[in-house]
Structure 1
């Protein structure tokens, strides 16, 4: 096979790239990482399925074939794919709106949601639409994840207390919890509170405790990651030993043993229509969260990921979930960091993790019968509270009041109106922020720094100007949203100043000019000509110049196009060039 063909194939099948250099040392590193992540993922998979309102085995199923699919098509060496808290909450919200009563239909809808999400992600990857994720503001995403973490933690308190409570918003959930607080089960509360306290201590205190006890750093780290498993084992034994299930402690019950089943999404047109928008939102949020984690971890090892191929990797992972009894998945932050810290060298670590989860599904599920749901709720609460970062509000307030307003609105809408409206608002706010900021581009009047060929803002520096020349540096690409703004800015500057004979638009920061902006430039040219003022351009980038040449604008331009701003001043006001550096 020719080298270009091999390179193209490896780009679409990254496994062909990293597998060529796979050796025994890499295998050892991946196996160790897989063992650690498997220990962490088993209770998380069960817990996140509970959060999504699904049978616990679906969490295990979503952690097997999807990991294998990502290992084949994904580009991150450390990303750990599987069920995550935010996507599980969004799954619960999407399917909860369907009003389904039959658990089998509910599960089938989750499978269909995974199928739609997988199809959307894969198509976006094939069409190379990964850049669309850039339209989501990271502060807005941080606000959404923070609000989701609070919502998730609040929704799990009913399992800690052993009461019935409902609600899709924080107000509804809090009201329902207060209304049923008198029905709290003391045994459930004891288990839930103890498990929560233990898991919080495990995250911060177990590793130093084990290190002080004389254990090596690596073994102490592995045992610290196994803390949730210890909580599961101990509380399950307590419920079984003391028969607490007969005293009102809710348990997981029977979890089917065996390999993931072959499932087929429901291709009902009405159902697909109802799930299409939630699937799109899940795809976008999942991809943004996943690619952010993947890029951060890749940078630490001087590696790189391909966002478009990541779309394909996550898409095929979700398709694998849909055909193996799972629900939507994405790359998890905490799990991926653990995978990275444990020494994972390639995506094969994910495939080995899948084998570990498969063995758990085959051998361990009978042991989960007496597992209290309060323990799984504690696992969720401890995991999601690490996502809550209210400091984003303080940071945004100090840096940009506009960004603060966007973050605050996203948090309040998510908490007050629910996750779907919150994430939809986040998308709309992100796009609106982009349009608002670029619709009012920074336009600076510039002059020459004495003794140099550099031009700077006249309001910030001591510079030389010429009374007959106005130079405006446009610090943004020009398009339909800001074209009129530039027109008004130019007119406002020249009106009333009879000395002006030349206006130079400095395009050093302009990367594109669309049709609307072209028409505005033509209008500026005509308006200035009627005032006896010539319009000039300087420092126009090649791609912008290529487009301008396709129009009549350059032919009708009253002035000239200069290679540099220094050339413009030298030509338009020769006497002002004395003293400039040559």
Structure 2
């Protein structure tokens, strides 16, 4: 409801998501419900403070490879956890490996009725998902809208149909399907978030509860903001997006949610996509969905008893399997396998250990890859023949900083010595960074090349690096604004003419040796 008032993106729908549910499960596993509510409150506070301090840039530390890795892993973890409901088994598992082990070891207990219902539900859900893409005549607008409405309502249709079927076939002595059972009706009580809890016959204070939550208190808010901003960006193309406002609103939503014992929430891509395709005009669209949800909690919970677990599992599985990002994997395989290794590390760590540790490992791996690339910038050298001789052109990419300055200097000297050209031209078009260490290295390179009776010029220098380049001793500043090899060589010729004129002037001065 708060997003209706404070939100800036009309399509975004704040609420529980599978990603938040999985994170919460892994952080609060085997802990009382008070820890979940406290996690919601603390996450909201952290996100709100991040918004106040304009720290949204921290989300940029999570690269698309990391996001793809943990999102795909999350989908697989959820699917693995729902297989038991799909085939009628009951057990407690903490990992994908545990789920696989228990399914294999309990295969004799698989319920055929649940399997059949789950298979039918999955098939219908996937078929209905494609219904909105059926090509119809442009004149049949009503049919197009009807197909679209049925397609986006597929979850409700399947759950309703399965529940009705379970109701009419229900036998209390020997139930055909495993059902959801009783759901307590009514709204949650309004109260302060719990700042103490009982665990193993001992009372924990706030600091003890935070220690039990561990790094999840910091990782969950970052992932929460990442998911919310990603959805907001996806649906606000061409519009101004106030990231600070979005972060503060998300924080307030979670803080308010903790007062009604809610789990951590963020923007949900599926619900937001439905809002977008429905043509919503303002965030007030969330008001209607919120009211319907509240009415369902008050008046309809008694009917939730007959919802088959196999049906719920099929709904979850069909919703999350499309989160598995195969397209990014294939693209990275063709373009950048180092980035693919970051994705793989995040994915494997998520599956083998836990998602929050995987996000941290992915961030560190991305930063390590970035540092490695800064340490090994690509330099492209080519000999260019001109009317006045041969020159060597070297293009420096990325940045020249303390991590890579010595390497760049050695390669420049190598290029100058190997081709022995009349001049070494350094194309700075793609030079993005330059620090004090690199300036010192460039000074040494200039001095060494001049001692070898050669010249070195830097051209195509970006405007933002002009002042730093001008501080380099011995550099020819006139070439900075040159945009081509010919313009840079013209600077050399101008300097040569100036030098000749200066020599001639000195030779004709009274008192010179020629006039004695």
Shorter-chain TM-score range: 0.7 to 0.9
> What is the deviation of 1:208?
5.2
- Paired position in structure 2 for 1:174: 100
CA distance in 2, matches of 1:341, 1:194: 27
- Secondary structure of the equivalent of 2:108? helix
Task: Summarize the alignment of residues 13-52 of structure 1 with structure 2, pairs less than 5 Å apart.
Answer: none
Cα 1:484–1:332 change in 2 (3 A) is: farther
- Equivalent-residue separation in structure 2 for 1:222 and 1:216 (angstroms): 10
> Among 88, 91, 106, which residue is 2:24 paired with?
91
1:257 CA displacement: 0.9
Q: Show the counterpart of 2:9.
A: 76
Structure 1 residues 201 and 469 mapped into 2: Cα distance closer, same or farther (>3 Å)? closer
**Which of 141, 147, 157 is the matching residue for 1:230?**
157
Contact 2:210 2:217 in 1 (8 A): no
Label 1:128 to 1:196 Cα distance change in 2 as closer, same or farther (>3 A). Answer: same
Q: 1:469: how far off? A: 5.2
Identify the match of residue 122 of structure 1 among 48, 52, 60.
Answer: 48
Q: Cα deviation per residue 1:34-84 (whole Å; 9 max; x = unaligned)?
A: xxxxxxxxxxxxxxxxxxxxxxxxxxxxxxxxxx22333332221222211
Find the residue that maps to 2:323 and give its secondary structure. coil
SS at match of 1:293: helix
Distance between the aligned counterparts of 1:394 and 1:493, measured in 2?
Answer: 37
May I ask how many residue pairs the two structures share in their alignment?
482
Q: Per-residue deviation at 1:199?
A: 2.0
Sort the Cα spacing of 1:284 and 1:485 in 2 relative to 1 into closer, same or farther, 3 A.
Answer: farther
SS of equivalent residue, structure 2 residue 124: helix
Partners of 2:141 and 2:477 in 1: CA distance: 77
State whether residues 165 and 180 of structure 1, in contact with CA within 8 Å, keep that contact through their aligned partners in structure 2: no
What residue in structure 1 maps to residue 433 of structure 2?
A: 512
Give the match for residue 45 of structure 1: none
2:459 is matched with which residue: 526, 531, 538? 538
**How far off is 1:528 after superposition?**
4.6
Normalising by structure 1, report the TM-score: 0.73
| 1:136 Cα deviation after fit | 2.5
The reply to whether residue 218 of structure 1 matches residue 151 of structure 2 is no
- Secondary structure of 2:395's counterpart equals strand
**Alpha-carbon offset, residue 382 of structure 1:** 0.7
Check the 8 A contact 2:43/2:220 in 1, yes or no: yes
Whole-Å separation in 1 of the counterparts to 2:136 and 2:208? 55
Post-superposition offset of 1:343: 0.6
2:191 to 262, 284, 308: 262
Question: Are the structure 2 counterparts of residues 464 and 534 from structure 1 closer, same or farther at C-alpha, using a change threshold of 3 Å?
Answer: closer
Deviation of the 1:153 alpha carbon = 0.8
User: TM-score normalised to the size of structure 2?
Assistant: 0.82
Cα distance in structure 2, aligned partners of 1:191 and 1:260: 36
C-alpha distance in structure 2 between counterparts of 1:547 and 1:260, whole Å: 62
Aligned to 2:296: 360
Greater shift in the superposed pair: 489-498 or 202-211: 202-211
CA distance in 2, matches of 1:172, 1:121: 34
Structure showing greater radius of gyration is 2
SS of the equivalent of 1:254 reads coil
Query: Residue 332 in 1 paired to residue 268 in 2?
Result: yes
Structure 1 pair 84–498 and aligned structure 2 pair: CA distance change class (3 A): same
1:441 is paired with a residue of what secondary structure? coil
Shift of 1:536: 4.3
Report the aligned-residue RMSD: 3.4
